[in-house]
Amino acid sequence: MSNTRISGIGMTSQRTRKRMIERLREQGIVDEAVLNVMYEIPRHIFVEDALASHAYEDIALPLGFGQTISQPFIVARMTELLTSGRPRGKLLEIGTGCGYQTAVLSRLAVEVYSIERLLPLLAKARKNLRELRITNMRLKHADGHVGIPEAAPFDAILVTAAATHVPDALKEQLAVGGRMVVPMGAREQYLCVIERTARGYTQTKLDAVRFVPMLSGLS
């Protein structure tokens, strides 16, 4: 990939990225590590060329296959909830999508494991991440409800689709002291933060959100 394509021009330039970061600060994102990473990673290469000029607007964009790339604020908010003041060793992401959230997490953790159930979408993510030379991640074509038990426990787990319930397998794969961020609900959705303690699990309901549903099976 050319340096020009990564750095961007016009509506994908670094100046446009700076405006996105300023907007995220105005919206309440305070973790400088998250803001720095989102400035550094070229979001426009993760969307279709025809939509690249909209990559830094605060909107979700279609990826095909009924999936979307979340708006920058949601990516920043979920990442901040997941990583701020938390262990950043090994993370699990459920729903690789185009790989953008994976790329953000890769800069904030030692190792990232990510699951995608849609094989064509996973192929796109692999290509995007390879072009950015991101190497501390492991992608897997699998059902997100199952997780990756052979790599557990994880210091943090991020789910990028709305679940009607938190799969027991994911709760079991969360390390004691770890945190999971997951959109919950069907018609009305909200971000939920689940923390595992030595005594069990705590659950906190936060912002209203809208995500595609978390589905079972492979495609």
**pLDDT one-digit tens code per residue, 149-186:** 999 999 999 999 999 999 999 999 999 999 999 999 98
Residue 193 confidence (pLDDT)? 97
What pLDDT sits at residue 107?
A: 95
Q: DSSP assignment, residue 32?
A: H
> In the prediction, which pLDDT does 88 show?
80
Between helix 32-40 and helix 14-26 the angle, nearest 10°, is 150
Give the model's pLDDT for residue 87.
60
Arithmetic mean of pLDDT over the chain: 93
What proportion of the chain, given as a percentage, has pLDDT over 70? 95
2, 13, 53, 70: which one is catalytic? Answer: 70
Is 70 among the residues known to form the active site? yes
**Which residues partner with 68 through β-bridges?**
62
pLDDT at 8 over 70: no
User: At 22, is the secondary structure helix, strand, or coil?
Assistant: helix
- pLDDT category of residue 11 using cuts at 50, 70 and 90: confident
Give the C-alpha separation, 64 to 47, whole Å.
Answer: 10
> d(Cα 86, Cα 88) in Å, to the nearest integer?
6
Other beta carbons within 10 Å of 214: 23
Reading the block at residue 187, the tokens are 């018609």
Beta strand residue intervals within 51-150, DSSP E? 61-64, 67-69, 90-94, 111-116, 137-141
Neighbouring C-beta atoms of residue 123, cutoff 10 Å: 13
Q: What is the pLDDT of residue 3?
A: 61
Tell me which residue of 156, 60, 58, 141 sits closest to 108, measured CA to CA: 156
Q: Which two tokens stand for residue 168?
A: 């027991």
How far apart CA 162 and CA 215 sit, in angstroms, is: 9
Q: Is the pLDDT of residue 1 over 50?
A: no
Fold that domain 3-209 belongs to in CATH? Rossmann fold (3.40.50)
pLDDT at 129: 96
Average pLDDT score over residue span 31-59:
94
Does residue 84 carry a pLDDT above 90?
no
Q: Provide mean pLDDT across the span 74-91.
A: 89
pLDDT value, residue 5: 66
- 85-132 pLDDT, tens digit per residue, is 766 899 999 999 999 999 999 999 999 999 999 999 999 999 999 999
Question: What pTM was computed for the model?
Answer: 0.94
Q: Where are the domains of the chain?
A: 3-209
Q: Radius of gyration of the chain from Cα atoms?
A: 16
In this prediction, residues 190-209 reach a mean pLDDT of: 96
Tokens 């405006």 found at: 19
Give the residue-averaged pLDDT of 6-22: 82
Indicate the length of the chain as a whole number.
219
